[in-house]
A and B are shown apart, each in its own frame.
Chain A
């Protein structure tokens, strides 16, 4: 798989998938909207965007959920931002009792943990993963409440981990796609993918 031919899927059922597709274009990588299981066959990595996690989980057909889980298990890199992070978590707090997750990372998250829309904020987040600091947009952001020892913490805001990595999976509590800084996407694109 040569890096120039890399194609990255963006789950495009709900949320700010257009902004992620634009961010990939800015990184000179082809982005592919993913709506059905078959769409996943054409990509080497997947981004779960920000949006509303319950709605996204509801709109995902069962075959798509299965394919994402299988591909991720086989090593496909997955990035989840905000709601995408919730979709990746093993446990979800303050969600509907029937809220489903893809269970891609051994973390627990709390939805809307910072409060309501008026409590949304921007802050500079520093991480060795991006070689410095970058503005981060937190919109009704989730918080990581539990992480297993093999989950690597990449950045904190206050006393909260806001960027974590487990193998080829990266979860960010904020929205890197909403700022012009592309370093978080570039960091994700540096992950070595599994086989299709």
Chain B
């Protein structure tokens, strides 16, 4: 994203569902700051564990779906 010209990256709360949120947050900051340094990008991408797993919408109980909330 930064290489395409973005000013910055917004990290959503899904990061807390990652295997290691703290390491992933640091890695995202490093990758955003040093986006034009492939060596730092490669280093930052190591040993992060798994990111948040996607959820199959059919497997989410009706009362937890955002679509039904609000008015």
The digit string for B26-62, where 1 denotes a CB below 8 A from any CB of A, is 0001000110010000000000000000000000000
The closest CB in chain B to the CB of A18 belongs to: B7
Nearest chain B CB to A76 CB, angstrom units: 23
Which applies to chain A's interface (DSSP): helix, strand, loop or mixed?
Answer: loop
CB-based contact B29/A35 at 8 Å: no
Interface size class of A (residues with CB under 8 A): under 10
Chain A residues contacting B34 (CB-CB under 8 Å) are 35-36
Q: What is the distance, in angstroms, from B59's C-beta to the closest C-beta of chain A?
A: 39
CB distance from A64 to the nearest CB of B (A): 11
For chain B, the bracket of interface size reads under 10
Residues on B with C-beta less than 8 A from A36 are 34, 37
Q: Mark A52-85, 1 if CB is under 8 A from B, else 0.
A: 0000000100000000000000000000000000
Interface flag for A13 (CB, 8 Å):
yes
Complex-state Cα separation, A89 to B32, whole angstroms: 27
- Nearest Cβ on chain A to B64's Cβ, whole angstroms: 35
| Complex Cα–Cα for A59 and B29 (A) | 9
**How many angstroms from the CA of A35 to the CA of B29 in the assembled complex?**
13
**Which residues of A (79-134) have their CB < 8 Å from a CB of B?**
none
Measured in the bound complex, the distance between the Cα atoms of B33 and A103 in whole Å is 24
The smallest beta-carbon distance between A16 and chain B, in angstroms, is 10
Q: How far is the CB of B57 from chain A (nearest CB, A)?
A: 36
Which residues does chain A contribute within 8 Å of B33, judged by CB atoms?
A: 13-14, 35, 59
> A29-58: which have CB < 8 Å to B?
35-36
Q: Which residue of A lies closest to B40 (CB)?
A: A36
Cα of A193 to Cα of B36 in the assembled complex, Å: 29
- Residue numbers in A under 8 Å from B29 (CB-CB): 59
- Contacting residues of chain A (1-44) with chain B, CB-CB under 8 angstroms: 13-14, 35-36
9 residue pairs of the A-B complex, CB under 8 angstroms, read: A13-B33, A14-B33, A35-B33, A35-B34, A35-B37, A36-B34, A36-B37, A59-B29, A59-B33
Known pairs A36-B37, A59-B29, A59-B33 / 6 extra A-B pairs, C-beta < 8 Å: A13-B33, A14-B33, A35-B33, A35-B34, A35-B37, A36-B34
